[in-house]
Structure 1
Amino acid sequence: MSINNYIRFDWAMKRMLRDKANFSVLEGLLTTLLNEEIKIVHLLESESNQEEEYDKYNRVDMLAENSKKELILIEVQNNNEYAYFQRMLFGTSKLVTEYINRGEGYDKVRKVYSVNIVYFSLGHGKDIVYHGKTEFRGIHENDILELTPFQKQTFKVDAVSQLYPEYYILKVNDFNRVAKTPLEEWIAYLNTGQIDDGANAPGLDAARKKLKIDSMTKDEKNAYYRHLDNIVILRDNINTERAEGRAEGRAEGRAEGRLEGVMSVAKNMKDLGLPMETIMNATGLSEKDIAAL
């Protein structure tokens, strides 16, 4: 394995993969993930393609168009964001409405794929890659609503879900095993920034040639290493927040446990018919709290 020789994907997305000469790297990832050959016609600009200093580790996304005129939104996110699922929905909804001309029929709505590469714990699950799509299922018969033959012929799809946005979530930080499939080879690179010498997934050979750290200028290397430092700081902040949250949770749990114990004692004393003043002195509870038991 070549160690620390290749540029991290999130940096490459922002600085290098927008160059048409490097499309093959991104096409390889999308081909592997979507399980069909993807050829990017051109990249479309999005509002968050920013280079400002404040954006040093914020959202990085890329909007591509494949040969079938379908839209592909690729986003790399390092920062933990609790409402990220809603942001995915907002992003696809925005594309659907932006890329249809006023007055056009709904049959002109573009297919959208949302590919999310997240470097933080998103949701709770055991897998590293998740796929989401829209289906309509009968509440009585549990059958899936299907297209009519005319609709299939008109829209050139086989299922209703193919008309709606589809979502992919790659939880790359959770990958901790030997890569055995092309997609796992890509996940390993996204996780570590390293490409195993035996990895042959589509696009990785192009990444070996085009994304070498040694090919960067001195200024590019300095900016890149600053980016890596920012990522380390960001992860430390996230880990610190999690540790503090766990500590606060334990403290709150102990406090809640003590309060429950006091309330239980007070209720028992009340049931025994002890005077209110005695219960108040013994437990420290107010007359109102004890009366509510």
Structure 2
Amino acid sequence: MSRNLLFLPAAVGGWILLYFAALFFPPEAALPQHIAVFIAATILTLASALVVAGFSRLKQHRNVYLIIGLLGLIATFYCARPLVNRSRLLNRSGDIPGQIIYLTGEQSGLVGISEPLLLNHRNENFKAINHQLEDEFPESAELILLLAMVQLTLASGIGLWIGEGIDEIAHLLPVAIVATVADIWSVSSGATAKIVVSSAINYFLLRFPMPGYGSIPYLIGLTDFLFFAIFFQAAVRFDLGVKKNVLLLLTSFFIAVAAAIFFATGLPVLPFMAILFVVGNYRRMTMKKEEVRQIILFVVFIIIAFTLISKFAN
């Protein structure tokens, strides 16, 4: 059996071993929380990049990658459903007492000036109930692991299918622009924030244990690894230098995660990824004047489209 065929099972096996190593890391050896989050995100990124590379090394026809991605999509839906349902149940259980608090406050005339106090009381009550129910109905670490694997299958399959279908190096620039504009729009319009606070987060974000804490936080988006797969396969397809581009792509993750922890806010990965990839390969992205004009028109169209979507969505 060739190394290419062995690479994917080895990458998946390594991912699983790292997952359980982090999950059962001794609490007494735990680092400060922000460092533990960065370490978890770093391990998740590196291990997932190897999985994407493993799928790429299978060297399948792009339609096979599409089938793999679609199977990953179906599996992601079914694996995430129990976690989504659990999250909805917890939210509903916490909402009921909160509604009672507000109704009682209204009947007692505690509105207006006292409303912030009611809100704080409601939030504290919601958190307490949620924590208690989470202890009573714990998540399955094995299911979270399985979900991460099928999410990576989805991202790898669709990403490699797209990357393998790019005919010219210059076409990578529109891909980078779409990634950047879409991710910035998603964050600025509040779409990402709505997903993060909803049960749907289980479909879109990958999780990895924080070493020493026993918790498994949501860390990096599925689409980030999908675009990683696109750019990775493009680097392979056009001989752009795999090692160089893997370093650039991984750096984008590390910058985004470090900045998010430092500023204590969620930041999109794709703008960093797109910029680093384009800058690192700009000399190879030679374009004719007509292609430049088409790209400018494309960018204008994308901006207008996202602006209209934001307007009508609100």
Name the TM-score class by shorter chain: under 0.3
Higher strand share: 1
Larger RCO: Structure 1 or Structure 2 (Cα < 8 Å, ≥ 6 residues apart)?
2
Q: What TM-score do the two structures reach when normalised by structure 2?
A: 0.26
Q: Which has the larger radius of gyration?
A: 1
Richer in helix (by share): 2
